Amino acid sequence: MTFELFETWKKQDLPMNLLEELSSIGKDEKAIEDCFYQYVSFGTGGVRGVLGAGTNRMNIYTIRRVAEGLARYISSNGEEAKKRGVAIAYDTRHFSYEFAVETARVLGAHNITSYVYKEARPTPQLSYTVRELNTFAGVVITASHNPKQYNGFKVYGEDGAQLVPTGATAIIEHMNQIEDIFTIGVAEVTELEQKGLFNWILEDLDEKFMYNLLTLKNNNAIDYNMKLVYTPLHGAGLVPVVEGLKQFGFNEVHVVEEQAVQDGAFPTVSYPNPEEAAAFSMAIELGNQVGADLLMATDPDADRLGVAVRKGDSYELLTGNQLGALLLNYISQTKQENDTLPADGAMLKTIVTSELGTAIAAHYGVTTVNTLTGFKYIAEKVAEFEMTKAHTYLFGYEESYGYLIETFARDKDAVQVALKVAEMAAYYSTQGKTLLDALEGLYEQFGYYQEALVSKTFEGKDGQEQMKAILNNYRLNTPKEIAGVAVVRVEDYLTGVATLQDGTTEPIDLPKENVLKFVLEDNSWIAIRPSGTEPKCKFYIGVVKSSKEEAEKALDSLMKYLI
């Protein structure tokens, strides 16, 4: 079937770039299989994959297939859903604009209204726009922090959060009913504009989004002259982050000009991911030139934020866990000082995020609620709190550099957090402290929490099978100890059961997902999870000790066990 699809594609009137790629594959059976053995899978909130020709690649035809599935799903919800329509945004990647327009053309063929941004805008702004325009759904064309050869299609529900599993399942079912992607109907943009089914948006939504961003500003005395460096890494964060910092009152904001150019080739970085130290090289260079105290970087769709803090003559990068803990403490502390800390407040974090946040939350009388990995689960809990009134949402974060403060957006929001981090750093600056000093204070108060992530890549069809085998092997051969420390609790999120050391079991009240977590006798832990968006199996590690040296030693021991 794989090779039949290959031959079928070769016979189509494809764009020249796709024809050339098919021709270059020639008779390479392995390459053909990888391009055609499946359709790009619908994972965490949508599809993501390598750009190119084939069913297992991102191109206008696989985009049309997802858009068609979305269109049929919306149509099944009635005329009102079609009229409310879909908000569409996109980042600066190759073909992002074209894929956004193509999505609107497919939707328009079903008489579904679209609202399309004229320029690249952040994913969290799309989340806000869905809520502001009361659309039935939203779409962002992005591959987030993946390398330049990737792109993707993320779907949002009417609450502005990534689509929940029931909606995703319905779209997948509609997609599976499409027999021939080359016959999917598309309408012309000019025709749709005349009918009011295609609408460009920009300035008005920019202003409204900024109005909401400014509600984050705390009026405490801060150092507005603190020198900041910001880089959007060629992505969509440039306009709202720079304007937001200006509106907050910061006078010394320096942008890495070479990386302010919106370019899907990401020419100055090999990997546009603010989690990677290499992504900060130009920001560090500029920081040294201007004497900056703080460096910030957003990924291409500006939903993740990385931060580096001056330490002597160099800069030290904060991890997602560290920045999340700092933000949680700062937000809780300032609300407590202003007498606005809710008595029923709750902090949301994922099961693979540091337990330092749990300790900080408890100190302020804030409840910690754990979710599965993926910000859609945090957004789901926000909506649940609004409905049940069980808690008041305070803050949510995950170790992979995703954070949400105010809920006018319902996805991780690097724009919000960039403004709040600048404010937090400027607050500590008035006390003669850096964020590193503040972090050390948290360690001294709550214990030295250290975390690490080991990722192992498994490409192609064989890689998927290898990842399944790894998890299955751990289930069949559950370790009694890890690195010489006894395992006291095994959490299997696929079965929804936690097994204790004495053999007794407890239910896990979370959706089913292929994740294993081992909790050790010394409160260290390891979690194993196949990525939902990348061909990787991820091994998360967390430890806590009374000193930095002890924590580093324990972390190193667990790292060696996994490697």
| Coil, strand or helix at 486 | strand
Whether residue 347 contacts residue 366, with contact meaning beta carbons closer than 8 Å, is answered with yes
327: phi then psi, degrees, rounded to nearest 5: -65, -45
What is the torsional sign of CA 341, 343, 349, 351? positive
Angle subtended at Cα 147 by Cα 142 and Cα 293, rounded to the nearest 5 degrees = 90
Q: Specify the range with the lowest mean pLDDT, choosing from 9-13, 264-268, 278-282, 455-459.
A: 455-459
Q: What is the DSSP secondary structure assignment for residue 74, as one 8-state letter?
A: H
Residue 176 has pLDDT above 80, yes or no: yes
Give 532's pLDDT tier (boundaries 50, 70, 90): low
The string of pLDDT tens digits covering residues 221-250 is 789 999 999 999 999 999 999 999 999 999
In degrees, rounded to 5, the angle at the alpha carbon of residue 459 between the alpha carbons of residues 457 and 464 is 95
| Token output for 19 | 């024809």
314 given a catalytic annotation: no
Query: Cβ contacts of residue 476 below 8 Å, gap of 6+?
Result: none
Pick the residue with more confidence: 293 or 1?
A: 293
C-beta separation of 418 from 296 below 8 A? yes
Reported in sequence order, the residue ranges of 390-535 that DSSP labels E, i.e. its strands, are 392-398, 402-404, 448-457, 481-482, 485-492, 497-500, 505-507, 516-520, 525-530
Q: Is the pLDDT of residue 465 over 90?
A: no
pLDDT of 442 strictly over 90: yes
pLDDT level of residue 461 (50, 70, 90 thresholds): low
Query: Which tokens in the block code for residue 174?
Result: 């509609």
Helix (H, G, I), strand (E, B), or coil: what is residue 94? coil
DSSP 216-238: G---S---TT--EEEE-TTSTTH
Contacts of 499 (CB under 8 A, 6+ apart): 478, 489, 490, 492, 505
Which of 96, 127, 144, 429 is labelled catalytic? 144
Six token digits for residue 529: 């999870």
- For β-strands 481-482 and 485-492, DSSP reports them as antiparallel
CA–CA gap between residue 277 and residue 319 (Å, rounded):
10
Question: Is residue 532 a contact partner of residue 44, using CB atoms and an 8 Å limit?
Answer: yes
Which structural domains are found in the chain, ordered by start?
38-200 (3.40.120.10), 202-217+224-446 (3.40.120.10), 448-562 (3.30.310.50)
Q: What is the mean pLDDT of the chain?
A: 95
Residue 133's pLDDT is 98
Single pTM value for the model:
0.94
Half-sphere exposure of 145 toward its Cβ, with a 13 Å CA cutoff?
Answer: 17
For 180, other C-beta atoms within 10 Å of its C-beta total: 7
Kindly state the average pLDDT of the residues 24-53: 89
pLDDT of 561 strictly over 70: yes
Confidence at 459, pLDDT banded by 50, 70, 90: confident
* pLDDT category of residue 531 using cuts at 50, 70 and 90: confident
Instruction: Look up tokens 């803050």; give the residue.
Output: 395
Q: What is the pLDDT of residue 533?
A: 60
Distance, CA of 102 to CA of 151 (rounded, Å): 14
